[in-house]
Each structure stands twice: as structure tokens, then as C-alpha cells.
């Protein structure tokens, strides 16, 4: 499946819920968000149908996200159905890992291949401040369970926030020395009601990289091709890698092959623009499977090029927890 700019679309990120057991400062405004009524969210069969349509038009990789995907009921069954779909060769999940202690094993058995774990600091107090009350030990236990369950490769994602965890990047990067993990640093993006906060606190990848190199030595390039949104490097004698994802300072639109399905059944054509195609309403209205598939294909073709962060404009309709990162 190609879009109007000839970019091949293979990845679908599916948000399975807008609920979460943490409340990260860059993802949710301080006074919370109003969750969508359950009736507006995709039911299990609707979610599976829309992903199946995606697989039939060319999606090969599905990543589950949210909100926190592990708080969705029946997640293991959903994963089993997706993993069995013809055409799908990779099912992964982005998670805060808090519930992986008990879910890693059943998810792996159901066909989940790998996880990206969000972890912004190794300091328990700082962790509680960024997540507004989370317990670091839960995440560390979840990570250990993911390793035991064979969910590989493990990638860690840290959003770097000035005056929160800007110095924690050194300890996080150092994890890649003894572990075969990809530790990736993400520039904070502005969305909706956290837009001003994100614009004020963003730290670009260049600054993060300089801080890591000053403390841990030179980062040798591993993959700067842009095929993956992360540019990856290796610290001296490290088993794992360090990566930088720079949507603010170096947009990677030219190689982007990704679509998103929001928890309320809308195909979002770019993370950083508000263009969406509602698929759930037509499905519920009784449109045929073939008609909904045509909507999917047509929307995917329309995928825009370029986002507007450089012009200091950002999406306003949803914050990250409502989109699915
Ligand atoms: N709850 C899961 C988690 O935290 O991994 C999955 C959903 S979360 C919205 C997905 C990713 O988006 C996380 O890695 C999170 O750090 C990232 N994220 C959230 N808000 C962001 C922002 N404003 N800028 C950059 N990344 C953000
Ligand atoms: Fe929850 Fe993930 Fe957002 Fe943090 S980043 S509030 S864990 S959805």
C-alpha cells in the first residue's frame, strides 16, 4: 500500500484504550482528561475487524498502544487474534510495563513478539514526579518479566523533559552497556493542553547526545539511514544501542510508513496533524466490510507530508494519551 507520495505503509499503531495507570506530565494535562464513554470505544470485535481490514490492504506490523494497553480487558485474546491474521508478521506493544509482571508471559504465548517500555529515569522520586505517582519498582519488575518471557528485542523509550529528567539520560544510556537493549531518547512533542509545557521543556537530541557523550564516551553510529525513526549509536563496549528520535528538530516524514487507529476507531493519518478518517461510525452504521476497506485504503493514500511543529503549530484535538503514541 503506497500513499500519494509513494511512501509504503506497513505499520499500524492501534490504541486499545484511553485509560492509563500513570499520568505522565507530557502526556496528560495536570487536571486530567475526560475519558471517552465506553460506547464510543471500539469493542473487541470492531477492533479486530478494523485491524483485519488493515492487514488486507497491506499492513504487516501492528503495535498496540494507548493509553496503557495493558489495562484493556481481554488484551491477551486480542493479541492472539491479531497474531493469527494472514499478512501480519509482527505484533508489538508500547507499554509503561507496570502490569507486565503478570502479563508478559501470557502475552508472549498469545503471539506478542516484543515490547517498547517507556522509562524516563532510574530515580524513584523523579519517576514518581514525572508519572504523577508511579512506582519505579513496578516498571523494573515488568522489564524483568518481559525478558523472562522472551519478548525481544527490548527497547526503552525516554522522553527528555527539562528540569525533570534531563540528567537522568546518562544513567539510562548506561543501561545499554550491560544489557542488549535499545535505549532511545525522544524529543518531547507539544499536543493540545500540554502544548505550552512541552514547548517550554523540550530538549533536543543534540543536547541529550552531548550530555551522554560527555559522561560515557563517544557514540559510534550504527544506523543513521532513517529507515527507523531512531538514529542509533553504540557506546564503547556496549551490548545494546542508544537511539535518538527527533520529531521536533529533525522530522522524519520522508520515510514514515505509519498509520494510527485511535481507540474510538479513527484512522489518524499523521501523529502530528489532526487529519482523521472515522471508520468505526460507518462500520456501526452497517456499511459493508468492502466499503469500510475502501475508506481505509483511500484515507491511507491521502496521508499528508510534513508536520507543522517547525512553524510552532501543533495538533489541538487530542493529547498523546488520546492518540496512541
Ligand atoms: N502507556 C504506554 C507507554 O507509556 O508506553 C503507551 C502509550 S504512550 C502515549 C506512548 C509513548 O508516547 C510513550 O513512550 C510516551 O513516553 C510517549 N509520549 C507521550 N506524550 C509525549 C509527548 N508529548 N512527546 C513525546 N512523546 C510522548
Ligand atoms: Fe500513561 Fe503512557 Fe501517557 Fe504515561 S505516556 S500517561 S504511561 S499513556
Among protein residues, the one with the nearest Cα to ligand 1's atom 8 is 325
Burial class (CB in 10 A: 0-12, 13-18, 19+), 127: buried
Instruction: With respect to residue 3, please indicate whether it lies within any of the assigned structural domains.
Output: no
Average pLDDT over residues 221-246: 95
Q: Is the CB of 192 under 6 A from ligand 2?
A: no
Distance 111 CA to ligand 2 centre (A): 24
- Pocket lining: 118 vs ligand 2, CB cutoff 6 Å: yes
Residue 129 lies in a domain: yes
Q: Kindly tell me if the per-residue pLDDT of 308 is higher than 80.
A: no
- pLDDT band of 36, cuts 50, 70, 90: confident
Give the CATH number, domain containing residue 313: 3.20.20.70
Using the predicted structure, report yes or no on whether residue 41 has a pLDDT greater than 90. yes
Q: To the nearest whole number, what is the mean pLDDT of the chain? A: 94
159 Cα–ligand 1 center, Å: 8
From 321, 322, 323, mutation site for ligand 2 pocket: most ligand atoms within 8 A of C-beta: 321
pLDDT value of position 310: 60
Identify which ligand lies nearest to the alpha carbon of 138: 2
107 belongs to a structural domain: yes
Query: How far apart (Å, rounded) are the C-alpha atoms in residues 93 and 66?
Result: 9
Q: Which residue range is the domain that position 37 belongs to?
A: 11-322
Residue 311 pLDDT more than 80?
A: no
Tens of pLDDT, residues 138-185: 999 999 999 999 999 999 999 999 999 999 999 999 999 999 999 999
Q: What is the pTM of this model?
A: 0.96
Asked whether 96 lines ligand 2 (CB < 6 A), one says yes
Does the pLDDT of residue 13 top 70, yes or no? Answer: yes
Question: Which tens digits make up the pLDDT trace of 238-256?
Answer: 999 999 999 888 888 888 9
pLDDT digits (tens, 9 = 90+) for 98-131: 999 999 999 999 999 999 999 999 999 999 999 9
- Residue 218: inside a domain: yes
Answer yes or no: is the C-beta of 321 below 6 A from any ligand 1 atom: yes
- Pocket flag, ligand 2, residue 95 (CB < 6 Å): no
CA dihedral angle for residue 226, residue 83, residue 23, residue 168, rounded to 10 degrees: -40
Q: Is the per-residue pLDDT at 76 higher than 70?
A: yes
**Total domains in the fold of the chain:** 1
Per the CB < 8 A criterion, the answer to whether 296 and 310 are in contact is no
Helices (H), the chain: 44-57, 75-83, 100-110, 124-130, 136-148, 169-178, 195-201, 205-216, 280-285, 289-301, 320-323
pLDDT above 90 (res 218) = yes
Q: Is 20 in the pocket of ligand 2 (CB under 6 A)?
A: yes
Ligand 1 pocket member 188 (CB < 6 A) = yes
| 170 within some domain | yes
Find out whether the beta carbon of 67 lies less than 6 Å from any atom of ligand 2: yes
Residue 266 CA to ligand 1 centre (angstroms): 19
**DSSP type of residue 66:** S
Smallest CA-to-CA distance from 264 within 190, 193, 189, 317 is with 317
Query: Is 4 a member of any domain?
Result: no
Ligand 2 atom closest to the CA of 66, numbered from 1: 8
Q: Measured in angstroms, how far is the CA atom of residue 95 from the centroid of ligand 2?
A: 8
Is the residue at 2 inside a domain?
Answer: no
Instruction: Write the residue with the smallest CA distance to atom 25 of ligand 1.
Output: 188
- Is 85 inside a domain boundary? yes
Amino acid at each position: 500500500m503506497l500513499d500519494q507520495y509513494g511512501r509504503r505503509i506497513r505499520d499500524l499503531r492501534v490504541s486499545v484504550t484511553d485509560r492509563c495507570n500513570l499520568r505522565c506530565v507530557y502526556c496528560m494535562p495536570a487536571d486530567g482528561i475526560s475519558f471517552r464513554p465506553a460506547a464510543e470505544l471500539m469493542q473487541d470485535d470492531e477492533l479486530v475487524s478494523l485491524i483485519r481490514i488493515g492487514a488486507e490492504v497491506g499492513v504487516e506490523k501492528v503495535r498496540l498502544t494507548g493509553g496503557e494497553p495493558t489495562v484493556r480487558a481481554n488484551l491477551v485474546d486480542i493479541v492472539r487474534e491479531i497474531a493469527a491474521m494472514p499478512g501480519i508478521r509482527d505484533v508489538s506493544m508500547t507499554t509503561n510495563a507496570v502490569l507486565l509482571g503478570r502479563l508478559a508471559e501470557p502475552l508472549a504465548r498469545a503471539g506478542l513478539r516484543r515490547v517498547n517500555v517507556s522509562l524516563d529515569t532510574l530515580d524513584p522520586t523523579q519517576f514518581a514526579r514525572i508519572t504523577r505517582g508511579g512506582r519505579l519498582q513496578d516498571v523494573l519488575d515488568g522489564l524483568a518479566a518481559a525478558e523472562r518471557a522472551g519478548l525481544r528485542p527490548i527497547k526503552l523509550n525516554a522522553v527528555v523533559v527539562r528540569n525533570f529528567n534531563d540528567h537522568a539520560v546518562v544513567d539510562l544510556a548506561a543501561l545499554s552497556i550491560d544489557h542488549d537493549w535499545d535505549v532511545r531518547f525522544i524529543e518531547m512533542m507539544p499536543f493540545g493542553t500540554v502544548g505550552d509545557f512541552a514547548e517550554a521543556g523540550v530538549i533536543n537530541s543534540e543536547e541529550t547526545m552531548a550530555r551522554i557523550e560527555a559522561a560515557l564516551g563517544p557514540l559510534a553510529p550504527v544506523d543513521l539511514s532513517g529507515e527507523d525513526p531512531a538514529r542509533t549509536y553504540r557506546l564503547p563496549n556496549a551490548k545494546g544501542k542508544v537511539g535518538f528520535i527527533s520529531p521536533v528538530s529533525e522530522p522524519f516524514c520522508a520515510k514514515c510508513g505509519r498509520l494510527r487507529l485511535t481507540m474510538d476507531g479513527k484512522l489518524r493519518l499523521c501523529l502530528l496533524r489532526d487529519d482523521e478518517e472515522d471508520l468505526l461510525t460507518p462500520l456501526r452504521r452497517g456499511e459493508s466490510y468492502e466499503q469500510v476497506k475502501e475508506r481505509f485504503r483511500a484515507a491511507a493514500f491521502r496521508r499528508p507530508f510534513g508536520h507543522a511543529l517547525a512553524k510552532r503549530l501543533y495538533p489541538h484535538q487530542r493529547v498523546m494519551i488520546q492518540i496512541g503514541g
